[in-house]
Amino acid sequence: MTEREVEYLISQAVKARERAYAPYSNFAVGAAVLTGSGAVYTGCNIENASYGATCCAERVALFKALSEGEKDIRLIAVAAEGEKPVPPCGVCRQVMVELAPQAEVIMVNLQGQRERRTVEELLPAAFVKSSMR
């Protein structure tokens, strides 16, 4: 990934955050994924009064990419307000392991702090498809 691609992806995650529907937590999150084809898909967290029906920004962006036929997710940017960059939740990490196992994840806060990890670093010893054989 070029620095220009990284910066663009982060800007799209920050922009997606502005569309979050978070009336319960008041914690807006935006995400953007870069695919092998060069396409970018964004997502924001969408909450629901039935908390289990809530969907995180990372999953929204990943699901949009896959629903459009993308299979090669290279980079995932996640933007949220926090003292430090905010990591993906456990459910999102599990989804990343299945849908974007080779991806890198860049977590950013609104002050510009960044942390970069691979999906494997975020969820070592993951439960995967082969675990069920």
Tens of pLDDT along 101-114? Answer: 999 999 999 999 99
Average model confidence (pLDDT) across the chain: 97
* Segments forming the whole domain that contains residue 89: 3-132
Give the strands of the sheet with 40-44, arranged side by side: 40-44, 29-35, 73-80, 104-108, 114-118
Percent of the chain with pLDDT over 90: 97
Number of domains comprising the chain:
1
Kindly report the CATH number assigned to the domain that includes residue 108: 3.40.140.10
Tens of pLDDT along 1-50? Answer: 799 999 999 999 999 999 999 999 999 999 999 999 999 999 999 999 99
Side-chain half-sphere exposure of 102, counting CA atoms within 13 A: 7
Is 118 buried (19+), middle (13-18) or exposed (0-12) by CB count in 10 A? middle
Question: Which residues are the active-site residues?
Answer: 58
